[in-house]
C-alpha cells in the first residue's frame, strides 16, 4: 500500500479514488484492510451489528475489474467517485437478503426482500457495503445505548456514548472502519453522533432523499442523510443518494462573504462551558475570515420542544401500532422506547393538529427572519454538551442537572420541524480531548450552499489547527 495503515484508514474518499485510478491501491486490497480493522476494533466499539464480509469482497472484486478496464471518469466502466469505496449503512435501512434489525429485539431476525432506493443508488455507484451499523432501538433515542445489542462506544473515549440514533455509523467513521455511512435523522440522529464523535453529518432538506424502505419513526420528521469524516465526502454521498434537487439553493455569490445569524433565544440558555468556548472560538474564526454575523430574534423557538414531542409521540405510536408491534409485543421493547410509545397514547387528535399548526407557524417565522435579515444561514452549536459517560442519565450545567437525552435533542429538533437542511461539522476539541460540533441551518433546499459553507469552515479550522487529524485509532 502507498499509505501507512493509519493514513489509509482515515484518508478521504477523493484520495482513495485517486489511488484506485493510479493503480496504487485496489478495491479488494482496501476492503480486506477495513474488514481486518473491523474484526480487530469492533468488539470494543460495537459499531457494527452485521458485517457483510462476503458481499463486500464480491463488490470489491467487481469494482476492481471494472476500474481495470479503463482509466479516468470518461471510461465506460468508471461509475464515479464512490466506485470501490467501503461504506456502511444504519441498520434501519432495508437491504435485500441482509438482516435489518432497526436495533430492536422485534426485528432481530428480519431479512428484507427489497433494497431501499438509496441502497440501489449506492450499488449503482459501485460502493462496497461493509455492513449494518448499531443504532438506538427503532431510532428512538439520542444516546445509542441499546438494551438488545449493547451500547456503541465513542472512539475518542470508550467509556462514553456515541450519541444516537445513528451512533454506530459515527463510531465506524471516527475509528477509521469505513469511509462513509448513511444514517437517519428525526430529531438529530445524524447530527448528534456526528458532533460527539468528531465527524460530519448532513440532515438534508426533507424530501430530497427517499425514506422508502426505511423503518419509520415519525414520518413527517424522518429524513435520511450522509455521514463521513469530511464535508467533501458527505457531499459525494449526498449527490449519490438524493432523488430531488428541486427548489432554490440560496446563498452568497462568490463576490461576498456569507451572512450568518446567531439566535438570541433558546440555543444558548443551556450550554456547557466547554461547548460555549468551542463555539465562541469558531465564531471568531468565521468573523476573522470575513463572515458577516449578527444576532437575530427567533421568538417561536421556545415552542419547538413541545410541538416536536407531540408530533413524534403520536406518529411513532401510529407506526408501531400499524406494524402490529405495540402494544402486542410491548415487553420486547427497551424501557426507554416503550415509555415514549406509551406517551403517544396520551396525545389527542386535537393536540397533534395543534402541534402541526405550531410547526407551520415556526416554518413561516424562520423563512421570514432569513429573508428580512438577509441571512444565508443560522450558526449554532450542534449539541450543548460533549459525549457523556455511558449510563449517565443526566448532566450538570451550572448548578442544575438536566436529562442527557433532552440536552442532546435540544439544539437539533428545530431543523427537523423546519424540514430545512442542517449540517454538523467538527469545530474544536475540549481540554479533555472530546469533539465539539458546529451546526449550520439553512432555508429549505439550501443543501448545496450549506455543504459549501461547512466545507469553507472546515478548511479554516484545519488551517487554524483547531482539530488534529487523523482521528484517534479505536485502540485508544
Domain contains 397:
yes
CA distance 8 to 130: 16
- Integer Cα distance of 317 and 314 in angstroms: 5
In a domain, 434, yes or no: yes
Q: What are phi and psi of 128, to 5 degrees?
A: -105, 125
- Domain at 239, CATH number: 3.90.1300.10
364 Cβ neighbours under 8 A, 6+ residues apart? none
Task: For residue 437, tell me if it sits in a domain.
Answer: yes
Q: How many domains does the chain have?
A: 1
Strand blocks (E) in 371-474 = 377-381, 394-397, 400-403, 422-429, 435-441
Residue 84 resides in a domain: yes
Checking if the pLDDT of 387 tops 90, the result is yes
How far lies 444's CA from each of 55, 160, 202, 251, in Å?
Answer: 37, 34, 13, 12
How high is the pLDDT of residue 300? 83
Q: Is residue 475 part of a domain?
A: no
According to the model, what pLDDT value does residue 72 have?
47
| pTM, full prediction | 0.95
> At 342, is the secondary structure helix, strand, or coil?
helix
How many whole angstroms from its chain centre is CA 395?
23
Q: State whether residue 25 is helix, strand or coil.
A: coil
Q: Which domain holds residue 455?
A: 27-293+375-463
Span between the terminal Cα atoms of the chain, in Å: 24
Q: pLDDT per residue over 48-73, tens digit each?
A: 999 999 999 999 999 999 999 865 44
- Cβ neighbors of 200 (< 8 A, separation 6 or more) are 194, 227, 228, 229, 230, 231, 233, 234, 423, 424, 425, 426, 454, 458
Least confident of 61-70, 99-108, 138-147: 61-70
- Residue 289 and residue 279: Cα distance in Å, rounded? 16
In tens, the pLDDT along 336-366 reads 999 999 999 999 999 999 999 999 999 999 9
The CA distance from 133 to 424, in Å, is 20
Which residues have a catalytic role annotated?
90, 165, 189
Does 343 reside within a domain? no
Q: Per residue in 211-257, pLDDT tens? A: 999 999 999 999 999 999 999 999 999 999 998 655 445 455 555 78
Map grid coordinates 484520495 to a residue: 15
Report whether 418 contacts 221 (CB < 8 A).
Answer: no
- Give domain status of residue 87, yes or no: yes
Give me the count of residues in the chain: 476
pLDDT for residue 476: 41
216 within domain boundaries: yes
Amino acid at each position: 500500500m502507498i499509505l501507512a495503515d493509519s493514513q489509509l484508514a482515515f484518508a478521504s474518499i477523493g484520495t482513495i479514488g485517486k489511488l484506485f485510478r493510479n493503480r496504487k491501491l485496489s478495491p479488494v486490497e482496501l476492503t480486506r484492510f477495513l474488514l481486518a480493522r473491523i474484526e480487530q476494533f469492533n468488539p470494543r466499539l460495537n459499531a457494527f451489528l452485521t458485517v457483510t464480509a462476503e458481499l463486500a469482497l464480491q463488490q470489491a472484486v467487481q469494482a476492481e475489474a471494472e476500474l481495470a478496464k479503463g482509466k479516468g471518469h470518461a471510461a465506460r466502466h468508471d461509475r464515479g467517485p464512490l466506485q470501490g469505496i467501503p461504506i456502511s449503512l444504519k441498520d434501519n435501512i432495508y437491504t435485500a437478503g441482509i438482516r435489518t434489525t432497526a436495533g430492536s429485539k422485534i426485528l432481530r431476525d428480519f431479512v428484507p426482500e427489497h433494497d431501499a432506493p438509496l441502497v440501489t443508488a449506492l450499488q449503482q455507484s459501485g460502493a462496497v457495503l461493509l455492513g449494518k451499523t448499531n443504532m438506538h432501538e427503532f431510532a428512538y433515542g439520542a444516546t445509542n445505548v441499546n438494551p438488545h445489542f449493547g451500547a456503541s462506544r465513542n472512539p475518542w473515549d470508550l467509556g462514553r456514548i456515541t450519541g444516537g440514533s445513528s451512533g454506530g455509523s459515527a463510531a465506524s467513521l471516527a475509528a477509521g472502519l469505513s469511509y462513509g455511512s448513511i444514517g437517519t435523522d428525526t430529531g438529530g440522529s445524524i447530527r448528534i453522533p456526528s458532533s460527539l464523535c468528531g465527524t460530519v453529518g448532513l440532515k438534508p432538506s426533507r424530501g430530497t432523499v427517499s425514506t422508502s424502505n426505511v423503518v419509520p419513526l415519525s414520518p413527517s420528521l424522518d429524513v435520511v442523510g450522509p455521514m463521513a469524516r469530511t464535508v467533501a465526502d458527505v457531499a459525494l454521498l449526498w449527490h449519490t443518494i438524493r432523488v430531488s434537487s428541486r427548489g432554490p439553493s440560496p446563498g452568497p455569490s462568490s463576490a461576498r462573504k456569507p451572512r450568518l445569524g446567531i439566535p438570541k433565544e433558546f440555543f444558548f440558555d443551556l450550554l456547557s462551558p466547554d461547548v460555549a468556548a468551542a463555539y465562541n472560538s469558531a465564531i471568531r474564526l468565521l468573523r476573522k475570515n470575513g463572515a458577516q454575523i449578527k444576532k437575530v430574534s427567533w421568538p417561536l423557538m421556545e415552542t419547538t420542544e413541545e410541538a416536536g414531542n407531540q408530533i413524534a409521540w403520536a406518529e411513532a405510536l401510529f407506526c408501531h401500532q400499524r406494524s402490529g408491534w405495540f402494544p402486542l409485543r410491548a415487553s420486547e421493547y427497551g424501557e426507554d422506547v416503550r415509555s415514549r410509545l406509551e406517551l403517544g397514547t396520551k396525545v389527542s387528535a386535537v393536540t397533534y393538529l395543534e402541534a402541526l399548526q405550531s410547526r407551520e407557524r415556526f416554518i413561516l417565522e424562520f423563512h421570514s427572519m432569513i429573508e428580512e435579515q438577509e441571512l444565508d444561514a443560522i450558526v449554532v452549536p450542534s449539541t450543548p454538551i460533549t459525549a457523556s459517560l455511558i449510563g449517565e442519565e443526566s448532566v450538570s450545567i451550572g448548578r442544575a442537572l438536566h436529562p442527557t437525552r433532552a440536552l442532546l435533542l435540544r439544539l437539533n429538533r428545530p431543523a427537523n420541524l423546519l424540514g430545512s437542511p442542517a449540517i454538523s461539522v467538527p469545530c474544536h476539541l475540549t481540554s479533555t480531548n472530546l469533539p465539539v460540533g458546529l451546526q449550520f441551518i439553512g432555508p429549505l433546499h439550501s443543501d448545496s450552499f450549506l455543504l459549501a459553507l461547512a466545507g469553507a469552515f472546515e478548511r479554516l479550522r484545519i488551517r487554524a489547527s483547531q482539530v488534529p487529524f487523523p482521528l484517534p485509532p479505536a485502540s485508544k
